[in-house]
Amino acid sequence: MSAADGVGGRVRRRRARLPRWLAAVFGFLAILGPGLISANAGNDAGGIITYASAGSQFGYRMLFLMVLITVALVVVQEMCARLGAYTGQGLGALIREQFPLRSGAAAMVLLFIANAGLTVSEFAGIGASMEIFGVSRYIAVPLALAGIWAVTVLGNYSWAERVFLVMGLVFLTYPIAAFLGHPGAGAVFSNLLWPHFLHSKAFLLLAVALIGTTITPYMQFYLASAVVDKGVTPKTYKGERIDTINGAILSDVVSIFIIIATAAAIGGTGPLSDVGQAAAALRPVAGQAASQLFAIGLLGAALLAATVVPLSTAYAIAETAGVERSLSRKLREAPFFYGIYTVQLVVGAAVALLPGNAVNLVINAQVLNGFITPVLLTYILILANRRSVLGDAANGPIFRAVATLCVTVVGLLSAVVLVQTVAGWL
């Protein structure tokens, strides 16, 4: 018997002596990983500010849209996790193999552009959240940069995964902040269960921003690569599937609470003018604690996403180039992978320190993602439909129809906003 078998046997025997409900809890915690991390990272600084803007501009009216977006997120995330587990490759490698060189290169360029803007917005969120506590962004951002780099580059995948999961605990602050704001239960459930949409350009533009920040390409690229990095296989995919679906649902529940919190405090007052306004607006309604909780959540979310966003780019480009890419490798073993990651961090932090309105920067980055997302989702859908890629694990007729509908609707909304934007310029 190996040492690993001995340890595994002791763990199983100890779990067998636990109460059934407690053993179930430990079993659930054991499967948490890429699915929950990637979905939590979607609630990044840009996401939080976009959700807060939805609440401040339109109150609870965006809640039903979030329910629909959650369904689409579950479908998309599950396809990506399945692709990683059954092929043993990330999306970058699969796109390189399954599509012509030009279209594969175009996909990587789109991902790089989208992620570059998001990395800047994450560091802007770090700086803005620390300024709420009186710490200059010129101190907070460089310290965050050094800490993020050390956690990711000097550790390994298992260690980094644990750190990412712990960072995700900050999202518990938003349900608490929402309840402290005493939202109207009737209005909340009415808008969750039935659409209360507005026929306006501002509403449609923010709807696309919500899609862009919730179903973000970097989440999908990170998820598939992290599943491979963790060593998930078809035999162990059942647990990862649970992790992925639960992660998508839980992350969007947090998003809904962010909208509720800001809608209860400042719903109908218009768009946010700065990051601190969202946290400060909660103070008269819910007290100082809710305001600080909002700021803490923003900081934790920005730190997590500032780690995961450039990591997804590094995974994708290294996979496309066919070079070593894994958090379990040392710096000298994967210099290209870690080099791309480091450059994105440094440039993102540097640009975030330039003067400007962080809210405008973040919202524009999410709208850009809203335009890019349908293109990259089309690649994912085609890959998951191909039996030559997934064999019997390819999308079945029903799943394929639902996934196609989700991608089509996202694409149509993005196209409408793009046409409206161009028409406004003319």
- Kindly list the distances between the CA atom of residue 269 and the CA atoms of 5, 58, 199, 258, 346, in Å, as whole numbers in the listed order: 61, 8, 18, 16, 36
pLDDT above 60: residue 29: no
pLDDT above 60: residue 24: no
Integer Cα distance of 45 and 7 in angstroms: 40
Residues 120-146, mean pLDDT to the nearest whole number: 87
What's the pLDDT tens digit per position in 158-170?
A: 666 666 666 666 6
pLDDT above 60: residue 393: yes
Residues 47-66, mean pLDDT to the nearest whole number: 87
3-class SS letters over the chain: CCHHHHHHHHHHHHHHHCCHHHHHHHHHHHHCCHHHHHHHHHCCHHHHHHHHHHHHHHCCCCHHHHHHHHHHHHHHHHHHHHHHHHHCCCHHHHHHHHCCHHHHHHHHHHHHHHHHHHHHHHHHHHHHHHHHCCCCHHHHHHHHHHHHHHHHHCCCHHHHHHHHHHHHHHHHHHHHHHHHCCCCHHHHHHHHHCCCCCCCHHHHHHHHHHHHHHCCHHHHHHHHHHHHHHCCCHHHHHHHHHHHHHHHHHHHHHHHHHHHHHHHHHCCCCCCCCHHHHHHHHHHHHCHHHHHHHHHHHHHHHHHHHHHHHHHHHHHHHHHHCCCCCCCCCCCCCHHHHHHHHHHHHHHHHHHCCCCCHHHHHHHHHHHHHHHHHHHHHHHHHHHHCHHHHHHHCCCHHHHHHHHHHHHHHHHHHHHHHHHHHHHHC
pLDDT above 60: residue 273: yes
Mean of the per-residue pLDDT values of the chain: 79
> How high is the pLDDT of residue 352?
86
* Confidence band of 291 (pLDDT split at 50, 70, 90): low
pLDDT above 60: residue 403: yes
Residues 229-236, mean pLDDT to the nearest whole number: 87
Cβ neighbors of 312 (< 8 A, separation 6 or more) are: 111, 115, 217, 218, 219, 221, 222, 225
Residues 303-323, mean pLDDT to the nearest whole number: 84
* Confidence band of 219 (pLDDT split at 50, 70, 90): confident
pLDDT above 50: residue 83: yes
Q: Which fold has domain 34-425?
A: Amino acid/polyamine transporter I (1.20.1740)
Residues 245-266, mean pLDDT to the nearest whole number: 87
> How high is the pLDDT of residue 160?
64
* Confidence band of 26 (pLDDT split at 50, 70, 90): very low
What's the pLDDT tens digit per position in 364-389?
A: 666 666 677 788 889 999 999 999 99
Domain ranges (residues) in the chain: 34-425
> How high is the pLDDT of residue 144?
92
Residues 104-125, mean pLDDT to the nearest whole number: 83
pLDDT above 80: residue 66: yes
Instruction: Say how far residue 21 (Cα) sits from the centre of its chain.
Output: 30
3-class SS letters over 321-333: HCCCCCCCCCCCC
Closest residue by Cα to residue 220 from 410, 2, 19: 410
Integer Cα distance of 412 and 300 in angstroms: 33
* Confidence band of 404 (pLDDT split at 50, 70, 90): very high
